[in-house]
Chains A and B, each alone.
Chain A
Amino acid sequence: MNDTVTGNTTHLSPETVLNQMKKHGVTHVVWLPDSETNWLYLLMKAEPSLTLVAVPREGLAMSIASGLHAGGKKPLVLIQNTGLMESGDSIRGWLMGMEVPVVIMVGLRGWTRHGVTTDTAAVYTERFLNAFNINYYLVESDADSSRIEIAFKEAETNKRPVAVLVGDEYHGFVSK
């Protein structure tokens, strides 16, 4: 199963991510921008089916997402790995404890597939998720978009947060 926009294996297009959000009925994106999400932001902003809820600190995104879910909406949390780690207790209490089936898309700052990862934000991300027993899927290009699909389904099935680690910047639009 693959609904990639370009099918490319070199980078992740913002259109691919947006298509996955729409396909899975996301209504609200609760998010804090990072250095890699501006292309995606422009697309999300133009998408009428999405409401963007910006937060000034990532932990807030978890309780807001929990409330949206309680009210029957489908939130997605979009943050960077630094903010993920800041959000630990809120994830525990407002997502896991409340059985919220939400996908957390995490910009994997510092990730290097082939080199030596020296950025501690990347070094500790998977360890953090493992400590919280949160399953995660690495997405590095459009060809990996089926893994986003898996994350959505797994979150619903298990009534738990599932992380998608974005190991690439969102590049410019396909048409550019």
Chain B
Amino acid sequence: MFDTAAMLKAFAKYRGDAIVVSGRGGKHWIDISDTATDLPLGDPAMGGHCGFAFGLAMALPQRKVVLFDSEGDLQMSLGVLLPVAEQKPANFYHFMLDNECYATTGGQPVPNAKNVKYDQMALAAGYPRAFAFDDLGALTKALPDILENKGPVFVAMKVKPEIENEAIGNRRRWRTRSQPQVVRDLKKALQIA
């Protein structure tokens, strides 16, 4: 397992002009980059990050879209792997943080937490490429190949849980823009209607 923040710093070097849907990595990514092509949405509704980023990738085929999903979200919407695999957006890079638990609710394990091979599930669903990493060095070495080649690609990453037990109202409010504002900023930057 490795640190999410360290992984995001490693990824940032290879980001290029990709749109980043920071998902569950949002509270760390916002300290690295918070431009109009960064989409810190927080958690509009659990389980939907992949669907959103997939839709965005279909809408903007000339632009790479990188998602930092989580295993809790994906478990909630495993079926989303199928339309992604069917549509095969070549610009979609689906990274998934796997901390084996629901960290924001106190660290309870997700179902079958330690035994799920998400990369194999993605391949079985029809993703043409999938990887799994539990070592940051190995991931960092592979990032250029992952990002330079066509998607859709799925990258499962074992990350250390950052368990929160504070009452929701006492937690750090890391988002600086509302969700609709994030989308408006993106559209303005890309000059799309």
Residues in A lying within 8 Å of B, measured CB to CB: 28, 30, 51, 53-57, 59-73, 75, 89-90, 92-94, 97-99, 159
Total count of chain B residues near the partner, CB < 8 A: 34
CB distance from B87 to the nearest CB of A (A): 6
| B55 near A89: Cβ-Cβ < 8 Å | no
| A56 near B48: Cβ-Cβ < 8 Å | no
| A64 near B79: Cβ-Cβ < 8 Å | no
| A60 near B186: Cβ-Cβ < 8 Å | no
| B83 near A56: Cβ-Cβ < 8 Å | yes
| B59 near A98: Cβ-Cβ < 8 Å | no
Point out the residues of chain B lying under 8 angstroms from A90, CB to CB.
45, 47-48
Query: B56 an interface residue at 8 Å Cβ cutoff?
Result: yes
Q: How distant is the Cα of A35 from the Cα of B193 in the complex, in angstroms?
A: 35
Given A90-B48, A93-B48, A94-B51, do A68 and B58 touch, yes or no (CB 8 Å)? Answer: yes
Point out the residues of chain B lying under 8 angstroms from A66, CB to CB.
44, 48, 51-52, 55
| B55 near A72: Cβ-Cβ < 8 Å | no
- With both beta carbons as reference points, the residue of chain A lying nearest to B86 in the complex is identified as A54
Give 17 A-B pairs besides A60-B51, A68-B56 with Cβ atoms closer than 8 angstroms.
A28-B55, A51-B58, A53-B58, A55-B79, A55-B80, A55-B83, A56-B82, A63-B49, A64-B52, A68-B55, A68-B58, A70-B56, A70-B187, A71-B60, A72-B190, A93-B45, A93-B48
Q: How distant is the Cα of A90 from the Cα of B51 in the complex, in angstroms?
A: 10
Given A62-B48, A73-B58, do A97 and B83 touch, yes or no (CB 8 Å)? Answer: no
| B183 near A53: Cβ-Cβ < 8 Å | no
CB distance from B44 to the nearest CB of A (A): 4
CB distance from A141 to the nearest CB of B (A): 32
Q: How distant is the Cα of A93 from the Cα of B187 in the complex, in angstroms?
A: 20
Complex interface bits, B11-55 against A, C-beta within 8 A gives 1, otherwise 0:
000000000000000000000000000010001111111111111
Point out the residues of chain B lying under 8 angstroms from A97, CB to CB.
44-45, 179-180
